[in-house]
Amino acid sequence: MRKKIVAGNWKMNKTLDEGLALASEVIAMVKAEVKNNAQAVLCTPFISLYSVGKLAEGSPVAVGAQNCYDKESGAYTGEISVSMLKSIGTKYVILGHSERREYFAETNALLAAKVTAVLKAGLTPIFCCGETLAQREKGIHIDFVNSQLTESLFLLSEEDFKKVVIAYEPIWAIGTGVTASKEQAQEMHEKIRTHLASKYGKAVAEETSILYGGSCKPDNAQELFACKDIDGGLIGGASLKARDFVDILKSF
């Protein structure tokens, strides 16, 4: 059975106090209301990871980072290594978000190194992929997403690949209020699964969790999560409101 996951990407939002308040609300609501077996993950800014992690200890909520560096330690001013994240109990790391690809020039090759570093430390990468509107309009969106997967993930052994979570996030749907229709999302998720099967075989592809991200909200989560190949969501804006995030989590 594929793992169902709803991960909140807080991006560069919330001070420590604000983050703790939001996380407390989410944890309390998850404990009181969530009866399904979906995993909730809060991907906070680095400054809140330790404290939110402490708050979440012993609860059904896990904590994730939004990025990391691929090197273990050394003269890399301003960067955070995976072992540092591991040392404070972080379980997940978002990698390759389109904002990092666009604003920080992250390439598929760099992301391949980051994925490897995260797996080596025993953490779970949430690997993001997704096309621009122009690529979709040209009809090259499927090839583009497949090439992101090939270049960043297909060097992994089958054993390592099985630990990866994928998030399909069409760039035109991120933070825009325009959600991919359930047909558009399901089509791409199915293509992604087929592509994974071409490298790792059908059984492995069938066990890989593929999340949808892009203006996912309480009012559209249910129809998206009901699609055969959609195993949850990566949630930006709506993860900043505890009520919305938990309602999305309850949408399976």
Active site residues: 97, 169
Q: Mask: binding to ligand PEP, 174-213, rule CB under 6 A, as x and -?
A: xx-------------------------------------x
Segment near ligand PEP (CB under 6 A), from 50-58, 115-123, 137-145, 167-175? 167-175
Which of 70, 169, 231, 247 forms a contact with ligand PEP (CB under 6 A)? 169
Closest to ligand PEP by CB, 101 vs 195, is 101
Q: Which two tokens stand for residue 147?
A: 């090439």
Which of 125, 130, 214, 232 forms a contact with ligand PEP (CB under 6 A)? 214
Query: Please, are residues 22 and 14 in contact by the beta-carbon 8 Å criterion?
Result: yes
CA distances from 87 to 51, 72, 82, 107, 140 (A): 13, 13, 9, 27, 41
Least separation in angstroms between residue 197's CB and ligand PEP is 25
Query: Please, are residues 110 and 156 in contact by the beta-carbon 8 Å criterion?
Result: no
Q: Which two tokens stand for residue 198?
A: 């071409």
Least separation in angstroms between residue 141's CB and ligand PEP is 17
In angstroms, the CA 178 to CA 214 distance is 8
Closest to ligand PEP by CB, 161 vs 168, is 168
Q: How many residues bind ligand PEP (CB under 6 A)?
A: 14
CA distances from 146 to 9, 31, 132, 188 (A): 23, 38, 14, 10
Query: Please, are residues 168 and 146 in contact by the beta-carbon 8 Å criterion?
Result: no
Distance, CA of 202 to chain centre: 22
Considering only residues 6 through 45, tell me which ones interact with ligand PEP, judged by CB under 6 A.
9
Considering only residues 70 through 109, tell me which ones interact with ligand PEP, judged by CB under 6 A.
97
